[in-house]
Chains A and B, each alone.
Chain A
Amino acid sequence: MSAQLHVRVQLPRTDFSLDVDVHLPAQGITAVYGVSGSGKTSLLRAVAGLEPQARGRVDLAGQVWQDDAQGICWPTHQRPLGYVFQEASLFEHLDVQGNLSFGLRRSAGQQHTLDAAIELLGIGGLLKRRVQQLSGGERQRVAIARALSTQPALLLLDEPLSALDAARRQDILPWLEKLRDELQLPMLYVTHAMDEVARLADTLLLMHQGRVQAVGPVSEVLSGRDASLMLGDDVGALLDAQVQALDQAWHLAKVGFDGGAMWLRDTGLAVGQKVRLRVLARDVSINVQPATDTSIQNHVPGVVQSITPDLHPSQVLVRVACGPSVLLARVTARAVHGLGLRVGQAVWAQVKSVALVK
């Protein structure tokens, strides 16, 4: 079994109480998703030791940060973590360089790793600036580099993009992807934006009213039953795929996933490139015969795995297993009745649109 982050925490609050006990992989990005007030931020703060009332156990790959049963509780400044707050929270009395070297001087962090973070985040030109002169996106990038300066064993990010407008978020997302791909650093990423989850997460932890609703590999959790009730219109499948062929004449790319393939717009893809696809349940319909006279290009054969109630009584969610992958279709209950759909039946999932999330 690979290294794990074990978090067990109980924290009474006035409006809810946080009660979590999860084992997460100590690698890649774990997205912590939930509506506001579901306890995402409290969970992150408890891991960091910023909630004095929190009781439980925090164990990163065998290093016990907190275990109240044994009387162990490392103060925040002794936990090898980096924390990016929702607002950049840069030190206003220091310039960018001063903010970045604050943690470096107090930790085992090395100048060359900080230099690498500065390079990675593209903030080399800002070092002499006062923090008041930075834009929102720049501040958040400096905050991320600052959190990396101590060479943490775990990076905690609390909605790092929520204070930014859409354009700025698009600026920073690629930097976060680079961080994920280039650093061997596990991250806990709190967010309530599904596009960030789809793009960045390897593991997904769904929170609801202070409790864990579901946890696991992101594509499994997203196509699972707990997610469908929480996500509303955002319900859909997430598929890790690879570009297999390009159709130059029609500007299309064929991407294959475990259990099928689809054509989508060629946005400058290269054969062999790894991509991630998001197929929303509302964009998928079901055929019991292979359709021929249709403008829709993507038909994926599969087997009905389950038919479950949806948010509205008129609708149901049909899970279609295509090999090990699962596609979700949101259809009316009447259609299911009319077609006589049942679990185990061979069908074709007809996909009207598919988004490339990375």
Chain B
Amino acid sequence: MNFSPDDYKAVWLTLQLATATTLLLLLLATPLAWWLARSRSVWRTPVSAVVALPLVLPPTVLGFYLLVALGPNGPVGQFTQWAGWGSLAFSFTGLLLGSVIYSLPFAVQPLQHAFEAMGTRPMEVAATLRASPWDAFFSVALPLARPGFVTAAILSFAHTVGEFGVVLMIGGNIPDTTRVVSTQIYGHVEAMQYDQAHSLAGLMLVFSFVVLMAVAWFNQRGSRVTP
């Protein structure tokens, strides 16, 4: 294993990006998943399809639209410039925004399944025990959906670590700002530095395997606890 200082910086940036993305996603995906699991609105199906889009779209397509939107002439870009924040393209914030959208289904779907599996009964029981809807949501629904939250967090984190196409399109490859592990590996290969590419690629391989094992182990344990 030989890691250059740039490699360490890329690893550190990747961890920051994945952590921030995961936290943001859990905040956004919880109400969205709850709505998708409970609503009978006609908008449910289209919204559900939009949430799933990143699963099938090539990351470059997603990245391209984000780049256009975030750029100086795009709607988001014009807004951020008007607000005095400058353009988000090729910045960490822009990358974070892209990651959140890119990993959205990985957070929403496990949560939605957990909320659906729970059914309406626990919330009804809570209501007959004097819990208001908000109270019941926090004291009953969230704890019961805990396995869903763990799966959603692990998958969002891992999926963000593994993203490449979106990063390349909207982040470029700027050291310390947008250069993450996947683009660093790409850079090493472009520069024919196969040894360094090997080290980082091996690290990613081990990481991914461990994550998948953790998810499988957790799900198994979860299903044994609640038969």
Partner-B contacts on A (CB < 8 A):
48-50, 75-78, 81-83, 85, 87, 89, 91-93, 102-103, 106-107, 132, 146-147, 149-150
Cβ–Cβ contact B128 & A81, under 8 A: yes
Cβ–Cβ contact B131 & A106, under 8 A: yes
Cβ–Cβ contact B129 & A89, under 8 A: no
Cβ–Cβ contact B226 & A132, under 8 A: yes
Min CB distance, A118 to chain B, in Å? 16
Min CB distance, A62 to chain B, in Å? 21
A89-B122, A91-B122, A91-B140 known; A103 and B129 CB under 8 Å? yes
Q: Which of A106, A107, A150 is the one whose CB lies under 8 Å from B135?
A: A106
Of A48, A89, A93, A107, which is in contact with the most chain B CB atoms at under 10 Å from its CB?
Answer: A93
Residue B225 is within 8 A (CB to CB) of chain A in the complex: yes
Cβ–Cβ contact A132 & B131, under 8 A: no
Residue B45 is within 8 A (CB to CB) of chain A in the complex: no
Of B122, B125, B133, which is in contact with the most chain A CB atoms at under 10 Å from its CB?
Answer: B125
Bin the interface of chain B by size: 20 to 34
Min CB distance, B40 to chain A, in Å? 11
Cβ–Cβ contact B129 & A106, under 8 A: yes
Q: Which residues of chain A have C-beta atoms less than 8 A from B131's C-beta?
A: 77, 102, 106
Q: Which of B121, B129, B144 is the one whose CB lies under 8 Å from A150?
A: B129
Sample of 4 further A-B pairs with CB below 8 A, known A49-B127, A77-B136, A132-B227: A91-B125, A91-B144, A103-B129, A106-B135
Between A and B, 11 residue pairs with Cβ closer than 8 Å are A50-B127, A50-B128, A75-B133, A78-B130, A82-B128, A83-B124, A83-B128, A87-B121, A89-B122, A92-B144, A107-B130
Cβ–Cβ contact B144 & A93, under 8 A: yes
Report how far A138 CA is from B142 CA in the complex, Å: 26
Min CB distance, B30 to chain A, in Å? 17
Q: What 8 A-B pairs are tightest by C-beta distance, nearest first?
A: A103-B129, A83-B128, A76-B127, A106-B130, A93-B143, A107-B130, A77-B127, A89-B125
* CB under 8 Å from chain A, chain B span 203-227: 225-227
Min CB distance, B178 to chain A, in Å? 41
Report how far A149 CA is from B129 CA in the complex, Å: 8
Cβ–Cβ contact B130 & A103, under 8 A: yes
Min CB distance, A84 to chain B, in Å? 9
Of B128, B131, B136, which is in contact with the most chain A CB atoms at under 10 Å from its CB?
Answer: B128
Residue B38 is within 8 A (CB to CB) of chain A in the complex: no
Q: Which of A50, A92, A107 is the one whose CB lies under 8 Å from B124?
A: A50
Report how far A102 CA is from B132 CA in the complex, Å: 12
- Write the chain A residue with the least CB distance to B140: A91
Residue B44 is within 8 A (CB to CB) of chain A in the complex: no
Cβ–Cβ contact B144 & A76, under 8 A: no
Min CB distance, B226 to chain A, in Å? 5
Report how far A173 CA is from B146 CA in the complex, Å: 37
A92-B144, A93-B146 known; A76 and B226 CB under 8 Å? no
Cβ–Cβ contact A75 & B129, under 8 A: no
- Write the chain A residue with the least CB distance to B226: A92
A93-B146, A102-B129 known; A76 and B124 CB under 8 Å? yes
Of B124, B130, B226, which is in contact with the most chain A CB atoms at under 10 Å from its CB?
Answer: B130
Cβ–Cβ contact B132 & A77, under 8 A: yes
- Write the chain B residue with the least CB distance to A103: B129
Report how far A87 CA is from B135 CA in the complex, Å: 23
Report how far A346 CA is from B143 CA in the complex, Å: 69
Min CB distance, A152 to chain B, in Å? 9
Of A50, A76, A78, which is in contact with the most chain B CB atoms at under 10 Å from its CB?
Answer: A76
Cβ–Cβ contact A147 & B135, under 8 A: no
Of A81, A91, A149, which is in contact with the most chain B CB atoms at under 10 Å from its CB?
Answer: A91
* CB under 8 Å from chain A, chain B span 81-131: 121-122, 124-131
Q: Which of A76, A93, A132 is the one whose CB lies under 8 Å from B128?
A: A76
Report how far A49 CA is from B124 CA in the complex, Å: 10
